[in-house]
Amino acid sequence: MNEAFDPFNLLILAVAIVIFWRLRGVLGRRTGSERKPFEPYSAPEPAENNTAEANDPGNVVTLPGKGRKAEAPEPGVWDEVAESGTHLAKVLASISQLDRGFQPNSFLEGARTAYEMIVTAFSEGDRDTLDSLLGEDVLEGFDTAITERETRGEMVESRFVGIDSAAIIDASMKSKTANVTVKFVSQLISATKDREGRIIDGDPKKVREVTDIWTFMRDLSSRDPNWKLVATEAAN
Domains by residue range for the chain, with CATH: 85-234 (3.10.450.240)
Instruction: Report whether pLDDT(90) > 80.
Output: yes
Question: Is the pTM value of this prediction over 0.85?
Answer: no
Predicted confidence (pLDDT) at residue 119 exceeds the cutoff of 70: yes
The arithmetic mean of pLDDT across residues 105-131, rounded, is: 95
Q: How confident is the model at residue 61 (pLDDT cuts 50, 70, 90)?
A: very low
- Whether residue 31 contacts residue 18, with contact meaning beta carbons closer than 8 Å, is answered with no
Distance CA 149, CA 143 (A): 10
**Mean pLDDT, range 67-77, rounded to an integer:** 49
Q: Is the pLDDT of residue 98 over 80?
A: yes
User: In the beta sheet, which residues pair with residue 158?
Assistant: 190
Is pLDDT of 115 > 90? yes
Q: Region 193-215: what's the mean pLDDT?
A: 94
Q: Per-residue pLDDT averaged across 130-135, rounded?
A: 96
Each residue's pLDDT tens digit, 133-161: 999 999 999 999 999 999 999 999 999 99
b/e per residue 133-167 (b: at least 16 CB within 10 A): bbeeebbeebbeebeebeeeeebbebebeebeebe
pLDDT tops 60 at residue 116: yes
pLDDT at 207: 96
- Does the structure show a pLDDT above 70 at 64? no
Residue 65 contacts by C-beta under 8 Å, 6 or more apart in sequence? none
Cβ–Cβ < 8 Å for 163, 115: yes
Of the candidate ranges 11-25, 29-43, 96-110, the one whose mean pLDDT is the lowest = 29-43
> Mean pLDDT over residues 48-54, rounded?
40
pLDDT at 142: 96
pLDDT mean across residues, the chain: 77
Q: Span 167-183, mean pLDDT?
A: 95
C-alpha 54/C-alpha 67 separation (Å) is: 10
Cβ atoms of 115 and 164 within 8 Å: the answer is no
Q: For residue 1, what are the contacts with CB-CB under 8 A and spacing of at least 6?
A: none
Residue 55 has pLDDT above 70, yes or no: no
Q: What pLDDT score was predicted for residue 184?
A: 97
The predicted structure's pLDDT at residue 63: 25
Segment 6-34 mean pLDDT: 46
